[in-house]
Structure 1
Amino acid sequence: MSEALLELRGFTVCYGPVEALHQVDLTVQQGEIVTVIGPNGAGKSTLLNATMGLLPSSGTLTLAGRTIARPSVETMVASRVGLVPEKRELFGEMSVEDNLLLGGFSRWRRGQRDQAERMQEVFGLFPRLQERRAQLAATLSGGERQMLAIGRALMARPQLLMLDEPSLGLAPLIVREVLHIVSSLRDLGVSVLLIEQNARAALQVADRAYVLEMGAVALSGDAGELMTDRRVIETYLGVGGQKAA
Structure 2
Amino acid sequence: MNALEARNLTVGYGKAVVLRDIGIEVKEGSIVSLVGPNGAGKTTLLLALTGLLPSTGAISYFGEPLATVSVEDRVARGLCLVPERRELFGDMSVADNLELGNFSRWVRGERDTKKTMAEVFDRFPRLRERLDKHASTLSGGERQMLALGRALMARPRLLLLDEPSLGLAPLIVREIFRIISHLRDGGVSLLVVEQNARAALEVSDYAYVLENGSISLQGPAKELAGNPKVIDTYLGRRKAN
Which residue pairs with 2:2 in the alignment?
4
Counting matched residue pairs gives: 240
Query: Mapping of 1:46-125 within 5 angstroms?
Result: 46-125=44-123
TM-score (norm 2): 0.97
The answer on 1:221 being equivalent to 2:200 is: no
Moved more, 184-193 or 151-160: 184-193
Deviation at 1:81, TM superposition (A): 0.6
Letter of the 1:67 counterpart = P
TM-score (norm 1): 0.96
Q: SS of the counterpart of 1:239?
A: coil
Moved more, 64-73 or 128-137: 64-73
Question: CA-to-partner distance for each residue in 1:13-58, whole Å, 9 max, x for gaps?
Answer: 0112211011000000110000000000000000001101110000
Counterpart contact for 2:76–2:105, Cα < 8 Å: no
2:232 and 2:186 map into 1 onto residues whose CA distance is 35
Deviation at 1:236, TM superposition (A): 0.7
Which residue pairs with 2:196 in the alignment?
198
2:219 and 2:185 map into 1 onto residues whose CA distance is 23
1:195 and 1:71 map into 2 onto residues whose CA distance is 23
Letter of the 1:60 counterpart = A
Counterpart contact for 1:8–1:27, Cα < 8 Å: yes
Q: SS of the counterpart of 2:74?
A: helix
Letter of the 1:13 counterpart = V
Moved more, 68-77 or 96-105: 68-77
Counterpart contact for 1:6–1:27, Cα < 8 Å: yes
Question: CA-to-partner distance for each residue in 1:107-153, whole Å, 9 max, x for gaps?
Answer: 01100001111101110110100111111110000000000000000
1:238 and 1:28 map into 2 onto residues whose CA distance is 27
Q: SS of the counterpart of 1:162?
A: strand
Letter of the 1:74 counterpart = E
Long gaps (5+) in structure 1: none
RMSD: 1.0
Moved more, 68-77 or 180-189: 68-77
Long gaps (5+) in structure 2: none
Deviation at 1:71, TM superposition (A): 4.8
